[in-house]
């Protein structure tokens, strides 16, 4: 298997971070999950805008400024004979001395991998978990390599017999699923939690906001339970129906 790394195609046995890489030791990095189909990345400009914002806040060099990532995706998918693919773009601060001191940016490493794109599910179930999205944390509002909260929330949901976790923020407001944004409809009106609730501003979420009259706000769980339709969105699965919610009483 070959991987795109820092502008070149290399074997996966070579494209491995060092044990001193800050992405490995501290989770000091960012990533994007991209859908590839028809030779293009749908919503590429939304991904670019989100990553540009995150790089500016967290002090990373933006890989879009150095590389043609759309062409990298085409090269990678052609080599793996994938007409449709799930792409993972990973950025790490790179190899540096141990410690939490402010880090340089010139050692940043960039990887892109491709996997076959799985078909989206017909629907998903949600399990309400106690782990919260922290509205003050960069790990909530940026797509960082520090993903412990989402992983543990998914484990809890799995133990409840649900497909994904339903998460609130630290103030008890509705936030999102563990890896998807949340929408619901009631009496013809669509709603979604605002960015103040510790959500990741998803690229599919941005598309839905552009195409549909959605009211963003700060909502309690009871509003969701009163909905006549609930959906989740992310870049890979698009928009999917929620079939049930468990753990709500």
Range with the largest mean pLDDT of 11-15, 63-67, 166-170: 166-170
**Structural tokens at position 113:** 């991998």
Instruction: Report the C-alpha gap between 101 and 85 in whole angstroms.
Output: 38
Give pLDDT, residue 101: 75
Instruction: Report the C-alpha gap between 94 and 173 in whole angstroms.
Output: 36
Note the pLDDT tens digit of each residue in 137-184.
999 999 999 999 999 999 999 999 999 999 999 999 999 999 999 999
Q: What average pLDDT does the structure give for the chain?
A: 94
66: phi then psi, degrees, rounded to nearest 5: -110, -35
Give pLDDT, residue 95: 87
Give pLDDT, residue 210: 95
Instruction: Report the C-alpha gap between 19 and 154 in whole angstroms.
Output: 27
Query: In the predicted model, is pLDDT for residue 116 greater than 90?
Result: yes
Give pLDDT, residue 105: 63
Give pLDDT, residue 217: 98
The model's pTM is 0.93
DSSP state of 20: T
Give pLDDT, residue 104: 64
Q: Which of these, 138, 156, 135, 160, lies nearest to 147 by C-alpha position? A: 138
Give pLDDT, residue 18: 86
Q: DSSP string covering 22-49, please?
A: HHHHH--EEEEEEEEETTB-TTHHHHHH
Average pLDDT over residues 29-48: 96
Percentage of the residues of the chain whose pLDDT score is greater than 70: 98
Top pLDDT among 113 and 20 is at 113
Cβ–Cβ < 8 Å for 92, 109: yes
Cβ–Cβ < 8 Å for 219, 190: no
CB atoms within 10 A of CB 105: 11
Give pLDDT, residue 12: 85
Give pLDDT, residue 103: 63
Give pLDDT, residue 82: 96
Note the pLDDT tens digit of each residue in 187-208.
999 999 999 999 999 999 999 9
């Amino acid at each position: 298997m070959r991987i795109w790394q820092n502008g070149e195609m290399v074997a996966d046995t070579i494209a491995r971070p060092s044990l001193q890489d800050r992405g490995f030791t501290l989770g000091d990095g960012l990533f994007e999950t991209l859908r590839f189909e028809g030779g293009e990345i749908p919503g590429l400009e939304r991904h670019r805008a989100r990553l540009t914002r995150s790089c500016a806040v967290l002090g990373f060099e933006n890989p879009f400024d150095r590389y043609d990532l759309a062409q990298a995706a085409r090269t990678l998918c052609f080599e793996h004979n994938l007409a449709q693919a799930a792409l993972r773009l990973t950025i790490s601060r790179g190899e540096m001395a141990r410690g939490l001191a402010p880090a340089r940016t010139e050692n940043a490493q960039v990887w892109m991998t491709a996997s076959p794109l799985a078909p989206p599910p017909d629907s998903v179930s949600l399990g309400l978990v106690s782990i919260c999205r922290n509205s003050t944390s960069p790990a909530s509002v940026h797509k960082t390599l520090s993903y412990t909260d989402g992983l543990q929330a998914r484990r809890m949901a799995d133990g409840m017999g649900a497909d994904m976790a339903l998460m609130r923020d630290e103030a008890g407001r509705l936030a999102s699923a563990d890896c998807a944004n949340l929408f619901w409809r009631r009496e013809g009106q669509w709603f979604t939690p605002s960015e103040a609730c510790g959500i990741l501003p998803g690229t599919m979420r941005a598309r839905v906001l552009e195409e549909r009259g959605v009211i963003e706000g700060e909502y309690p769980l009871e509003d969701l339970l009163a909905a006549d339709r609930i959906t989740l969105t992310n870049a890979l699965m698009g928009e999917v129906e929620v079939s049930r919610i468990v753990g709500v009483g």
